[in-house]
Amino acid sequence: MALSSSELREIARRVIVVPLSVIGAGLARAGGALGSAALRRRWQIVIALALAALLWQLSSHPPFATVQRSEVLVRTNVLDGSVKVFGPGLVPMLPGIHQARAYSMRDQMSRSLESASASGSAPFQSTEGLAIGVDLTVRWAIDRRRIGQMSRDFPQDLDADLVQPALQGIAYSLFARHTVREIFSDRRAEIQKEIAAALSPKLAAMGLVLRAVEMGKVDLPRDYRAGMDRLLAEELETEKVRYTLQLKEAAVKETQLEAEADKVRRQKSAEAQGEEQVIAARAQEETMKHILPFKQKQIEQRQLEAEAEKVARIRNAEGAAEARRIEARGEADSRQKLADAEAYRLDLVGKANAAQMEREGTLVARYPLLIQKTLADKLSDKIQVIIAPPPAPGEVVGANLIGATAMADALHHRSAGAP
């Protein structure tokens, strides 16, 4: 359904015009209120704006500078031109009055890249007029003791504005006085020392300190370098032959010296042995002078000892003989006494045995069974013994125990059984 133009205008008025008019009226009332409030607090607003401007100025231009390690900061007063040098830390700065610049105290390297190649933009020239390239490296640093007075004259780039021009001015004139051969091999170290000796005072006058100059690769044109390499190879071969001959000569001299030293050593050894023998003979002679009297005294002493031993043996033999005689007499006396004692003992024992036998005879005669009891006591542990009264004359022992009849029968049977 299509809308008419009047309807579209009404919708636009309600959607756009009315809200905008309401917003405009509100902004007008707010602006009036703000204007009246601003008039009432105008001094406070001025102070706030001043503080904001001050803070912005401090943030964009801080009143101090930070110095890092291995750096120094040179602060210059633009009013009186005084200069102060500060080490690591915070340095106060007044905007508009102080100007500061930081310098590194570390060693810095400077290389001449344009002159490092024979085909470069600024090669060096030798005395023959040949273009050569030399890789020169300069190690330098800022003189901290003079940085205060020299900082005013320091350009922005110390390497490009101070070090490189000084190096180029010295190197070009120095290389122009030497041949390519000297630069390439013969006097390389001397040229490096000459550059350092000439460059050091120039850098010192500019407030810089030269640490070292290093002369690196020497770049020659290709054809000249090939010829130089061949020439150097031939010279090296010649030097090698010369050193070989010198080594051989040294070896021959060493052999001769060793032979002479061996000869001298043998001579000295023979002389030393002869002197040792002479000294030994002298010492032996001196020793014999003392030994012979000592030997004579030993012989006399041994004779006296032999005589004393002889007398001692004689006296010992006499003493032994007398002792044996005394022992013999004592032994004879003791044997005699022992014999007398044995005889006396035997006499007493015989008398005692006779008296004992007499008593035993009387006892046996009185008690005839005592013999059988004694015999039974002796044989009691081997056989059984029966004690019986003695038989009558003509009877068998034990007849009283078994009876006469039994004994007669036993004898009869025994006699009958005999052959």
How far apart are alpha carbons 253 and 247 in whole angstroms? 10
Gap between the Cα atoms of 214 and 193, Å rounded: 9
Q: How many residues does the chain have?
A: 419
Model confidence over 234-261: pLDDT tens digits?
777 888 888 888 888 888 888 888 888 8
By mean pLDDT, which of 168-172, 358-362, 402-406 is the weakest?
A: 402-406
**pLDDT of amino acid 2:** 41
Check pLDDT > 60 for residue 415: no
Write down the domain spans for the chain: 5-57, 61-102, 107-220, 376-414
For residue 190, pLDDT over 50 is answered with yes
Which residues fall within 8 angstroms of residue 36, CB to CB, at 6 or more apart? none
Sign of the CA dihedral with 240 first, then 245, 251, and 257 last: negative
Q: Tell me the per-residue pLDDT of 102-129, one tens digit each, with 9 for 90 and over.
A: 788 788 888 888 888 877 788 888 888 7
Residue 412 has pLDDT above 60, yes or no: no
Is the per-residue pLDDT at 151 higher than 60?
Answer: yes
pLDDT band at 419 (very low <50, low <70, confident <90, very high): very low
pLDDT higher than threshold 80 for residue 167: yes
Higher confidence at residue 407 or residue 268?
A: 268
pLDDT confidence of 87, banded at 50, 70, 90?
confident
Task: Report which of 194, 235, 234 is spatially closest to residue 213, judged by C-alpha positions.
Answer: 194
State the pLDDT at residue 68. 76
The CATH number of domain 107-220, selected from 3.50.50.60, 3.40.50.10260, 3.30.460.20, 3.30.479.30: 3.30.479.30
pLDDT more than 90, % of the chain: 1
| Cα–Cα nearest to 195, from 181, 208, 220, 178 | 178
Higher pLDDT, 355 or 73: 355
Rounded to an integer, what distance in angstroms lies between the CA atom of residue 233 and that of residue 218? 17
Q: Is the pLDDT at 198 greater than 80, yes or no?
A: yes
pTM value > 0.75: no
